[in-house]
Amino acid sequence: MENSKEGAEILRTRPRINSKTVDLDWLKKLPDDTLGKTYINFLERNQVTPDSRMTVQFIDDVNSAYVLQRYREAHDLFHTILGMPTNMLGEVTIKWIEAIQTKLPMCIGAAVFGPASILIQEILLAMGY
């Protein structure tokens, strides 16, 4: 991010997605076919808020900590934009998108190993467990 004009600007201004920067009441008033209304509907349906994600801890580099925090804050937007539920298949799908977009190792690992978890669950169900 530091090597691109846009990335450097984001790291400089550090925009956030939380209840201090997003007017949830205003989103509720938007038309049904807008991103904002779809986002607030997702949050309400899943009983979460933009503040539900834990704050990043134990990362000394301020830029890395910010990027991880922003990644957490944007997660529900990925669900909203892609129309993915919060079940295992939806989460794995989101992890693939996050892995492609961010190239974060944790996203890549979840994208690769998440499907194995689904397969194991299916096998166990087929075996009657």
From the CB of residue 76, how many other CB atoms can be counted at a distance below 10 Å? 21
Question: Cα dist. 106→67, 88, 109 in Å?
Answer: 13, 16, 5
pLDDT at residue 125 in the model: 87
Cβ atoms of 37 and 30 within 8 Å: the answer is: yes
Q: Are residues 125 and 101 in the same domain?
A: yes
Q: Are residues 20 and 53 in the same domain?
A: yes
Q: Are residues 74 and 109 in the same domain?
A: no
Q: Are residues 57 and 17 in the same domain?
A: yes
pLDDT at residue 129 in the model: 82
| Model confidence, pTM | 0.80
pLDDT at residue 36 in the model: 96
Predicted confidence band of residue 61 (pLDDT cuts 50, 70, 90):
very high
Question: Cα dist. 102→30, 54, 92 in Å?
Answer: 30, 19, 15
Distance CA 25, CA 37 (A): 10
Q: Are residues 64 and 96 in the same domain?
A: no
Our count of domains for the chain comes to 2
pLDDT in tens, 69-106: 999 999 999 999 999 999 988 999 999 999 998 888 88
Q: Are residues 75 and 97 in the same domain?
A: no
Q: Are residues 35 and 60 in the same domain?
A: yes
Q: Are residues 62 and 113 in the same domain?
A: no
Domain that holds residue 58: 1-83
Predicted confidence band of residue 53 (pLDDT cuts 50, 70, 90):
confident
Cβ atoms of 67 and 1 within 8 Å: the answer is: yes
pLDDT at residue 116 in the model: 85
Q: Are residues 50 and 75 in the same domain?
A: yes
The pLDDT of 16-34, averaged and rounded, is: 96
Q: Are residues 68 and 128 in the same domain?
A: no
Q: Are residues 10 and 46 in the same domain?
A: yes
Q: Are residues 73 and 109 in the same domain?
A: no
3-state DSSP helix/strand/coil percent for the chain, to nearest 5?
65, 0, 35
Nearest to 64, CA basis, from 14, 129, 4: 14
Distance CA 71, CA 52 (A): 13
Residue owning tokens 């794995």: 92
